Amino acid sequence: MLAVAHLKYTHKSGPALTEGSDVHDGTTVFADGQRGTVLIGASEDAAGCEDPYDVESWKQGESHVFCETYVIPANAKSVEVHWSEEDGEPFVWKFPNS
């Protein structure tokens, strides 16, 4: 089954970003403790999802929603979305699979 993580990122401070952002690269979906298989390019056209490479100027206070799609087992009991900065400890959001 497909699991799509929608993450909203906000540029909190500093100068405007003038190139595509790679902030979404730190996103991973796990099912029952196992990393899912990323499905590259699957969510670029999904409703509410933006392509991070189309963001050319990202001003302070501005937000964008980037999505990542993973293939996970349909019978997984729990799904987790992990996001971390480079070499940082991940933030983890847990969801029951219903």
Sequence letter at residue 3: A
Q: Calculate the CA 16 to chain-centre distance.
A: 21
* Cα separations in angstroms, 71 against 13, 57, 75, 88: 34, 31, 12, 25
Max alpha carbon distance in the chain (Å)?
45
98 residues of the chain, pLDDT tens digit each = 888 889 999 988 888 887 766 777 889 999 999 999 988 777 667 788 988 888 888 899 999 999 989 999 999 999 999 999 878 899 999 998 76
